[in-house]
């Protein structure tokens, strides 16, 4: 775990990928600041953004397992064994997603995101910053320019 001890990482975007990457860095010893433009979706009555389910592959499940969340997420999933192709003539053809016994798992994107955010919030080296929107970045000087929504005003961070 000494790999990133003391080093800081900023991740912009608190969706499933940003939250999962936050876990990966924090578990390797990095101090991580996660910035998300939206409100905390765990507190919102209605979540803006994508609402379509996410198709979780075997690799996705492995990623969740590596941060201890696979079982928690997959119990709410629906297996999808094949895609259905509809021809212009009206014929339907089922095409499997993989070998026999392999499937994709349809999971609620918001539920997945909430579970990931809750998990990263429990890690000691993580700070979550909601309502922070990236305005600019200077990678040479390792600087991010973010605006923070405060009521109807915008502050620079």
- pLDDT tens column, 79-110: 999 999 999 999 999 999 888 888 999 999 99
Q: What is the pTM of this model?
A: 0.84
Q: How far apart are CA 32 and CA 38, in angstroms?
A: 18
Q: How many Cα atoms within 13 Å fall on the side-chain side of residue 145?
A: 6
- Domains identified in the chain and CATH numbers: 1-47+111-157 (3.50.50.60), 54-107 (no CATH)
- pLDDT tens column, 13-64: 999 999 999 999 999 999 999 999 999 999 987 776 667 899 999 899 999 9
* DSSP helix/strand/coil, 67: coil
């Amino acid at each position: 775990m000494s790999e990133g001890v003391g080093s800081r990482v900023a991740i912009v975007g608190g969706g499933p990928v940003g939250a999962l990457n936050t876990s990966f860095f924090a578990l390797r010893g990095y101090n991580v600041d996660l910035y998300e433009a939206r409100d905390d979706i765990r507190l919102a009555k209605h979540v803006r953004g994508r609402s379509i389910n996410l198709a979780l592959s075997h690799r996705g499940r492995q990623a969740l397992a590596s941060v201890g969340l696979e079982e928690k997420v997959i119990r709410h999933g629906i297996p999808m064994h094949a895609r259905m192709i509809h021809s212009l003539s009206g014929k339907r053809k089922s095409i499997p997603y993989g070998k026999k016994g392999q499937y994709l798992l349809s999971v609620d994107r918001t539920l997945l995101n909430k579970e990931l955010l809750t998990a990263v919030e429990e890690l000691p080296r993580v700070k979550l910053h909601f309502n922070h929107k990236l305005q600019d970045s200077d990678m040479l000087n390792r600087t991010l320019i973010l605006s923070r929504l405060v009521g109807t005003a915008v502050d620079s961070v």
